[in-house]
Amino acid sequence: MIIPKTAEEIELMRESALIVSKTLGMLAAEVKPGVTSLHLDKLAEEFIRDHDAIPGFLGLYDFPNTLCMSPNAQVVHGIPNDTPYEEGDIISIDCGAIKNGFYGDHAYTFPVGEIAPEVEQLLKVTKESLYVGIAQFKKGNRTGDVGYAIQQHCEQHGYGVVRELVGHGLGRTMHEDPEMPNYGRRGRGKKFVEGMTVAIEPMINLGTHRIEQLKDGWTILTRDRKPSAHFEHNVALVDGKPELLSTFGYIYQALGIESDEETPFRAAALVL
Ligand code: MG
Ligand code: MG
């Protein structure tokens, strides 16, 4: 059952999402060769608690940490460890926070120094597909419209679209209806309703879409061990249109990147 939110609840969700956005912005400046995921995980936990919020993943389904840290061939749900990053790695950081009883949940894949051109292209196209999908999150459309758009955008580059893991509704719990697959057929799936809030999150592989899980019960990685990228935003359906609750703006501020990718979906009132 889809749970639409009131305008007041959407503002609270924006608050939670922006705490995650700021956390990712703080981490952006720290991602470099020699740094470990465990170190970043500690920084993130402190940062979230300093903002009067609670880490959203820590203890959720017994997950042991604040961040899901998934380098290179890991798709999602990687557990932070003490392996230092190396130049040329990519690291997908997925972060959750709870404030006022509502979850924020978003993710970005960071390059560590210079990365191979084909991997840079994977990151670029995966992030593009996120916005291509968000544009379809509008009145009259269904989950299949978003999935179709993401899938088409990525498969035309020859990439693999992960099937087993999907986006989701988001609110007072981490995973609400509906499921938001990154593949699908136009006009199929659950119909969108005003006030609903979702996490849209393409998980895209350079090679095969097939995945497997490590024996730790968490880590998902590509079956061919080629790299995988993951970008995630939280979005509300407001006046029939997609409105971003999260922003990559803090990441771009930290990294000195100019971008207008969010402009069509950004709330007018958002000031970074
Ligand atoms: Mg996430
Ligand atoms: Mg999510």
- The mean pLDDT values, 10 residues at a time, for the chain of 272 residues are 98 98 98 98 98 96 96 97 98 98 98 98 98 98 98 98 98 97 98 98 98 96 98 98 98 97 89 80
Q: What is the CATH number of the domain that holds 63?
A: 3.90.230.10
> What's the pLDDT score for residue 270?
81
Does residue 159 lie in a domain region?
A: yes
Ligand 1 mean position, distance from CA 194 (Å): 23
Do residues 67 and 41 lie in contact, with contact meaning Cβ atoms separated by under 8 Å?
yes
Q: Give the domain range for residue 142.
A: 7-265
Order of strands across the sheet that contains 211-213: 74-76, 220-222, 211-213
Round to whole Å and give the CA distance between 30 and 24: 10
Ligand 1 mean position, distance from CA 117 (Å): 26
> What's the pLDDT score for residue 169?
98
> What's the pLDDT score for residue 271?
79
Token code pair at residue 253: 């501020």
Tally of structural domains, the chain: 1
Do residues 114 and 68 lie in contact, with contact meaning Cβ atoms separated by under 8 Å?
no
> What's the pLDDT score for residue 176?
97
Do residues 219 and 74 lie in contact, with contact meaning Cβ atoms separated by under 8 Å?
yes
Ligand 2 mean position, distance from CA 169 (Å): 8
> What's the pLDDT score for residue 269?
74
> What's the pLDDT score for residue 167?
98
Does residue 90 lie in a domain region?
A: yes
> What's the pLDDT score for residue 194?
98
> What's the pLDDT score for residue 272?
81
Does residue 196 lie in a domain region?
A: yes
Ligand 2 mean position, distance from CA 104 (Å): 9
Ligand 1 mean position, distance from CA 127 (Å): 14
Does residue 270 lie in a domain region?
A: no
> What's the pLDDT score for residue 101?
98
Ligand 1 mean position, distance from CA 94 (Å): 5
> What's the pLDDT score for residue 267?
87
Angle, helices 7-28 vs 37-50, to 10°: value is: 140
Do residues 125 and 159 lie in contact, with contact meaning Cβ atoms separated by under 8 Å?
yes
Does residue 272 lie in a domain region?
A: no
Does residue 176 lie in a domain region?
A: yes
Does residue 128 lie in a domain region?
A: yes
